[in-house]
Structure 1
């Protein structure tokens, strides 16, 4: 098991979380299985950007993003150099610290959060 630390997010994870993550599962799957709500409008099929996360620590341990993910990330709200789609970033042996951005395109478009 690998430690996955989620930084506090006002709605999705107000107190932050420390999760024992199973290697080989995506960040998105891991968060959802541990009660951290992460939007995933395309059901984790790499067809949207709603599961965008920022990997604050451990980014270089992740396998590189494929071209399809890179193309989608260009559309993500709040894109940073260490951004990934949670459905595509697979947990390995290195501990990770992730931040859920304040908004996703889905939230901004539908007016869920302000």
Structure 2
């Protein structure tokens, strides 16, 4: 199992969190499976940017980004060099530290 440390976020993880993820799953799936209800308006189909995260540690261990993800990330709020769409970032063996940005481009949240 791979450890994912989630930095504190006022809505999703006020105290921060440490979760376990099975290699081969996406960061988004791991967060959702562990009670961190990150937005994912497109149901993890790589069609929006609401699940945007910044990978503070372990970025290079993730799978390579495809062109569609790169294009979508250009529209993400708070884009950084180590940004990924969590629905497309596949966990490997290396532990990760992720930060969920304070805002997303989603103006109307939906319950999933």
TM-score with structure 1 length normalisation? 0.93
SS in 1 for 2:50: coil
Consecutive unaligned residues of structure 2, counting only runs of 5 or more, are: none
For 2:6 and 2:108, locate their aligned partners in 1 and report how far apart those are by CA, in whole Å. Answer: 25
The answer as to 2:37 corresponding to 1:33 is no
SS in 2 for 1:70: helix
SS in 2 for 1:105: coil
- Aligned positions of 1:39-50 closer than 5 A: 39-50=39-50
Pairing partner for 2:108 from 95, 107, 110: 110
The Cα shift of 1:110 comes to 3.4
Consecutive unaligned residues of structure 1, counting only runs of 5 or more, are: none
For 1:57 and 1:7, locate their aligned partners in 2 and report how far apart those are by CA, in whole Å. Answer: 11
- Aligned positions of 1:83-98 closer than 5 A: 83-98=83-98
The Cα shift of 1:84 comes to 0.1
For 2:37 and 2:83, locate their aligned partners in 1 and report how far apart those are by CA, in whole Å. Answer: 18
TM-score with structure 2 length normalisation? 0.95
Deviations 1:83-111 (A, max 9, x none): 000000001000000000000000xx339
Name the count of aligned residue pairs: 109
